[in-house]
Amino acid sequence: MRRRRFMAGLASTVLWPRAVLAQQTPRPLIGFMSARSPEDSSHLLAAFDKGLKEGGYVDGESVKVEHLWARGDYDLLPGLGRELVGHSVSLLVAVGGDASARAAKSATSVIPIVFTMSGDPVEAGLVQSINRPGGNATGCIVISTGELDAKRVDLLGQIVPDASVFGVLVNPKYPPSVNQARVLEAAAAKINRTISIVNASTDTELDAAFVTLVQKRVGGLVVASDPFFDSRRAALIKFAADNRLPGIYQFREYALDGGLISYGPSITDTYRQVGIYAARILKGDKPSDLPVTQPTKYDLVINLKTAKALELKLPQSLLVGADEVIE
């Protein structure tokens, strides 16, 4: 009897410390830095969390995520990256555009990075190649510039065939902006239109841009792809509505919130993929072996209610070809 009691006590002294150690094992810490704002990113965070969960991780339970936001001020991003690296994160997620990805890469060459960007990550020095990144970073390309900017100009031309001048909002601090202006001008010339480019990278400049667009009497509005504008989505849609201005944007969220039309990839799918990659890396996969993903589908979304409010008669071919019509 004494021997059995001794063995039971010995077992408890062996097993109990292991249980305590398991409870005290720290959860992985993900540093999440974004060029966007939390107010307009709840659906994106939900998509990221969904991807994490698919990989077996739940924020607040098996992993902890620390979020930092630049709110459209790209100059803050390098500091956010350094701050998260200083917190000894296990993984750095850099989303909301090219500037965020570059800031993360400049902050660390050791900690794994999962990024989103619209430009070329090879050209930006983030990876060695799309299929074999080769370093500490991988991620998702959100292709929403270049040919897509040109496509949006063409779509707006179909919607307002009598308008000769389109206003274009561009953020000069957004890395792809130089090419955006060139592509947009060429696309407008192709359909015998002209564009008036108005720059804005702060809230004050955006307010001034609104005044300029009204003064120029533009017949339509193209909002160039840029996270700063995404963070001001409500203001852009309100401006267009108040001035009865047909507008076209990059993501479905604009059309859902009352914008006339959007054309571009699904950003929620992208953030879900970022979550999936984050989970895989936490489980041991190397960023160098995970190919950079690219969109395979682009959606045309039309808000018919907004079109009716603007008294626009949309071409039937456009309605038939739309991936989604919001009524």
pLDDT along the chain (327 residues), means of 10: 44 43 69 94 95 96 96 94 96 93 96 92 93 96 81 94 94 83 91 94 96 96 91 95 96 95 93 97 96 92 96 93 94
Pairing of strands 113-117, 91-95: parallel
Task: Give residue 177's pLDDT.
Answer: 80
DSSP classification of residue 293: B
Q: Which of 112, 98, 49 is nearest to 70 (CA)?
A: 98
Q: Indicate the DSSP class of residue 16.
A: H
Superfamily of domain 9-143+267-289 in CATH is Response regulator (3.40.50.2300)
Q: Which residues contact 228 (CB under 8 A, 6 or more apart)?
A: 35, 72, 74, 171, 173, 174, 200, 201
H helices of 139-259, where? Answer: 147-159, 177-190, 203-215, 227-230, 233-242, 252-256
| C-alpha–C-alpha distance, residues 113 and 139, integer Å | 8
Backbone angles phi, psi at 168, to 5 degrees: -130, 125
Predicted pLDDT of residue 119: 80
Instruction: Classify residue 101 by its DSSP letter.
Output: H
Collapse the DSSP code of 6 into the 3-class scheme (helix H, G, I; strand E, B; otherwise coil) and give the result.
helix
Domain 147-264+299-326 in this protein, CATH class: alpha beta
CA of residue 306 relative to chain centroid, distance: 25
C-alpha–C-alpha distance, residues 201 and 211, integer Å: 15
Which pLDDT value is given to residue 309?
96
Q: What is the pLDDT of residue 25?
A: 57
Q: So what's the pLDDT on residue 13?
A: 42
Domain with CATH 3.40.50.2300 in the chain: 9-143+267-289, 147-264+299-326
